Structure 1
Amino acid sequence: MTGLSWVAVLLSFCMSLVALVVFRKMAPSWGLLDHPSERKLHRVNTPLIGGIAVACGIAASLIWWMPFSPLISSFLVGAAVVAFVGVLDDIYDISVRIRVVGQILAGCVVIISGDTYLMSLGNLVGLGDIHLGILALPFTLFAAVGVMNAFNMIDGIDGLLGVSSLIALTGFTVLSMLSGNHMLVWLGTVCIASLLPYFFSNLQADGHSFKVFMGDAGSLLMGFTVTWLFIVGSQSHLTSTVVIDPVTTLYLVAVPLMDILTVMARRVKQKRSPWLADRQHIHHLFEKAGYSQKQTLIRLTLIMTAIAGLGVILQYTNAAEWVRFVVIVVVLFGYIGLTKYLKGQMSRIERTEN
């Protein structure tokens, strides 16, 4: 990257930091406060402006540095739609239906205006590339909404959403560097730089003057941004140099995806709405099994880093895509085994207490 592009990265960091400081003072008047409740771990009102700050950092660099093209402008508009819907949810607690409609609208913006969609899933089963054809647009929407909600649901303890996002973005940026795609390296670095001020702020102790949460605006924005980067980096009609195979993206967001799949399957099995909030996510299971927030964050960070690192290594060594798909399915079963182990720990604790 050139000197000016590094200036743009610094701009994204500084803009995000400034927005964080300014918006946290305005959060009470905007109604962007997360209030304590029985389902939440914090004990004081905390500003929900992390996502808005990150959005400002990313937008500032893209608008200043990138030439306006349908690809970039559609992303900025789509990101604005997602962030707006998230802010509405943070203030008014809107229905799931409205949230999903907003997510679909954002997806349609980048698909229609930016031609940003999944055309190929790669050679997942060893029989040749899977071309989606007429299913490309609906499948892309399904994937985008799925990842956005996966990131939204993983945001349950301090630092977890930030770590999940940083691991996905770092893996993408490393693969872009290995492929020599400087534009995607820059885009990934800008997103990382915009995220860092929020991440360090979110790790502050409960009640700290600079403590903030992402809010739904931020969790949905990070899911949308990661999905957009993965599509751009994996589809030959969008980039001169493909940097990430579709199967590798599953490794970079493995825990959020596995969490939403297992939680929603569990809710359906229990004959409850798959969208009904509860405390069955992976971080909740760790908590109920006797682990502190810090211990949970460290363990999940190690798990996510190991899976993402495995995905990067397998792509770098040119392992067959169908082999990588089999491996990630094995990882999923390992994840299910982890949840069963944690539930066993929970049962032992309950027996001891009784």
Structure 2
Amino acid sequence: MSKEKSSIQNHLNVLIVEDENIIAKDLSRIMKKFGYEVADIVVSGEEVITKAIQLRPDLIIMDVKLSGKMSGIEAADEIKKIIDIPIIYLTAYADAESIQKAKLTEPFAYIVKPFDEKVLHTSIEIAVHKHKIGKKLRERTLELEEEKKKSDVLIHNILPKQVVKELRETGWIKPREYKMVTLLFTDFQDFSTLSAQMTPNELVSELNEIFKHFDGIIDEFALEKLKIIGDSYMAGGGFPDESTDHAIRVVKAAILMQEFITERNRSSVYKWPMRLGVHSGNVVAGVIGKNKMTYDVWGTTVNIANRMESNGRVGKVNISSSTYNLVKDYCDCVFHDSLKINDKTKIDMYFVKSIK
């Protein structure tokens, strides 16, 4: 056995595609001399496609002109669509047209007969190494793409779609003032007393089931979930995309939330008495934080919406006069009280009875 062995792979399987018997046998001898194994010898393009799929060789050495109707270049093109195998052309055709056609199939080498054994050996070693590196690179690229998809899902769960887009395009989020939005707050009455009756697992399971359902309602009305603070759920509409129907969408979502809780309490072991408040006004919105970014809103509107909740009643949707003026043509509402905001300001409050 010759000392000239492969440094790439001790058991490299090579499929030889050559319709000249003498050259095919010579190639087989040389492959064994290099320390490679010959998977098979075939003479036509049609046959090499079948054998490539069946044998899965590590490398194909193929003539450009073969027996049958299909050329080596055409066969290589078909193989490339099905299986990833490095191909080396070994041919007597060195004209520009043949080489250009061969290039379209992206071969790992194009060697002209009569060939030099050392050149062939080097070409094989380079082809196998290049293919191996390319495969690892493609695998790593796919891994990175999967990681990016997971990151995209995660960041879209944290930040609104439009905010993510701005962050990627500019590298930061510019705070924005919105002249009119609608905010919603929920809170469970006597939460401390109720939670004390549950195990930690029961408490988290109950809240998770409720808030997941709320998430679905928020998505249904294209609203923005802002945060959960303890047992309080905060969401709103009219930001980051401005709209004219944010108030009615928030109110409709609020009604469904209360209906869900009421229905759930009928059969659940634990009853969750919930207040819900809604207010419309101006806010400033932006992103804060470094390692854990949060999209949030600030302003008097936030405080008033929170007070709409705390001054509401269990099972009711309590809205401010500001929200009432935006939805009164679409909802049946009833006045129930006025809330003193400061020494000079009072805000009327309404319970939403139904959608017209």
Q: Which has the larger radius of gyration?
A: 2
Q: Which has the higher contact order (CA 8 A, sep 6+)?
A: 1
Q: Whose strand proportion is higher, 1 or 2?
A: 2
TM-score range, shorter chain: under 0.3
TM-score by length of 1: 0.21
TM-score by length of 2: 0.21
